[in-house]
């Protein structure tokens, strides 16, 4: 799809309608983000035209007529891990398919939360997706004017909305696999220690290792990154992890563990490495290891379902649970 357009002019709704071959009213309904009468085919044409032109609706102009801004805030700590890149790329596309735009808010510390209070642009979003573990549920409700706040950081209030990935069974299966391999000791390579999701994850590993009579030699936190994990392994002697299962809470850190083994000529123990996230790297020729993952499409669908429905305080379907799965190395 291409359309003639002046380099100095921003694309308008008229431009989108013309390129899609529909009326301006149909284009407006298709991009409204609401369940308004428009055929699926016409809506798809309008979205494709808007993407081709780089059209972005003026959020405040929209808010004057329908009380909405067309913006979804996504509050994160960082987006550096391999699984995050895949998740957020798919999430961004899903939000755009609803006729909305994404406003990313990055927090480095709790001090940054106060800065959000003074940003009226952030307050006026139609929904907020809280990935950052720096924000408590009761604080989140004070940062946005909308009630559409979905907690995705492992924290939730009694009546609030949340999506949680249940990793317990998958982690138990991974630990059982290590026991089947004859491994009676393990080492945990965790991510961010401040994360409640991570704390729960590590606790699962420790509990299931104890049940399986596997000794936990130690736990270290490497912020989910390949670089941090590599720096840790560089300080270890070559035989530090002989006959030891290495449970990593990201595939990035599992890749660092695998490179540590390879660099020290310990290829026969590569099967002892367990990742987390089920990225494509766990199935490549260079990196191949068992891992844990969940259906990211289901995760995103749950988010969209929550922010598109209206709930009362008595509704019980505000909390969605996605089951994780163990993927053994082939």
Please tell me the pTM assigned to this model.
0.74
Give me the pLDDT at residue 65, please: 47
* Phi, psi values for residue 56, rounded to 5°: -130, 120
Give me the pLDDT at residue 56, please: 67
SS3 state of residue 301: helix
SS3 state of residue 298: helix
pLDDT by residue (tens digit) across 218-227? 999 998 999 9
User: Which tokens hold the place of 293?
Assistant: 């993952």
Of the candidate CATH numbers 3.10.350.10, 3.40.50.620, 3.40.50.11440, 3.40.50.2300, the domain formed by 168-293 belongs to 3.40.50.2300
Q: Which fold has domain 1-56?
A: 434 Repressor (Amino-terminal Domain) (1.10.260)
Task: Say which CATH class 71-166+295-324 falls into.
Answer: alpha beta
Higher-pLDDT residue of 57 and 261 is: 261
Mean pLDDT of the chain: 86
User: Which tokens hold the place of 327?
Assistant: 């993927």
Cα 95 from Cα 87, distance rounded (Å): 12
* Sequence-separated (6 or more) residues with CB below 8 Å from residue 135: 75, 107, 113, 143, 153, 155
For the chain, where do the domains classified as CATH 1.10.260 start and end? 1-56
Asked whether the predicted pLDDT for residue 1 surpasses 50, the reply is no
Give me the pLDDT at residue 26, please: 82
For the chain, where do the domains classified as CATH 3.40.50.2300 start and end? 71-166+295-324, 168-293
The CA angle 111-113-118, to the nearest 5 degrees, is 110
Estimate to the nearest angstrom the gap between the alpha carbon of 143 and the chain centroid. 21
pLDDT by residue (tens digit) across 237-255? 988 999 999 999 999 999 9
| Confidence band, pLDDT 50/70/90 cuts, at residue 328 | very high
């Amino acid at each position: 799809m291409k359309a003639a357009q002046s380099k100095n002019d921003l694309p308008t709704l008229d431009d989108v309608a013309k390129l899609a071959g529909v009326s301006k009213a149909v284009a407006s309904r298709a991009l409204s983000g609401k369940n308004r009468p428009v055929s699926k085919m016409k809506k798809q044409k309008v979205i494709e035209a808007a993407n081709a032109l780089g059209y972005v609706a003026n959020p405040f102009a929209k808010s004057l007529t329908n009380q909405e801004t067309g913006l979804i805030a996504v509050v994160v700590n960082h987006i550096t891990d391999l699984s995050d890149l895949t998740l957020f790329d798919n999430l961004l596309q899903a939000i755009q398919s609803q006729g909305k735009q994404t406003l990313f808010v990055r927090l480095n510390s709790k001090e940054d939360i106060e800065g959000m209070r003074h940003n009226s642009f952030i307050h006026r979003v139609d929904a907020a997706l809280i990935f950052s573990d720096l924000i408590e549920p009761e604080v989140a409700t004070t940062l946005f004017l909308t009630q559409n706040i979905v907690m995705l950081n492992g924290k939730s209030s009694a009546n609030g909305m949340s999506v949680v990935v249940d990793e317990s069974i998958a982690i138990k299966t991974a630990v059982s696999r290590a026991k089947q391999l004859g491994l009676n000791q393990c080492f945990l390579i965790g991510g961010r220690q401040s994360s409640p999701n991570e704390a729960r994850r590590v606790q699962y590993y420790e509990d299931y290792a104890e049940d399986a009579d596997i000794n936990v030699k130690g736990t270290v936190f490497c912020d989910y990154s390949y670089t941090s994990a590599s720096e840790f392994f560089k300080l270890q002697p070559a035989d530090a992890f002989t006959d030891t299962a290495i449970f990593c809470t990201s595939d990035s850190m599992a890749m660092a563990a695998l490179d540590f083994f390879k660099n020290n000529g310990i290829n026969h123990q590569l099967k002892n490495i367990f990742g987390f996230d089920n990225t494509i790297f766990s199935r490549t020729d260079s990196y191949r290891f068992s891992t844990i993952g969940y259906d990211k499409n289901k995760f995103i669908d749950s988010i969209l379902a929550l922010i598109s429905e209206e709930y009362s305080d008595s509704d019980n379907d505000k909390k969605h649970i996605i089951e994780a799965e163990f993927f053994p190395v082939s």
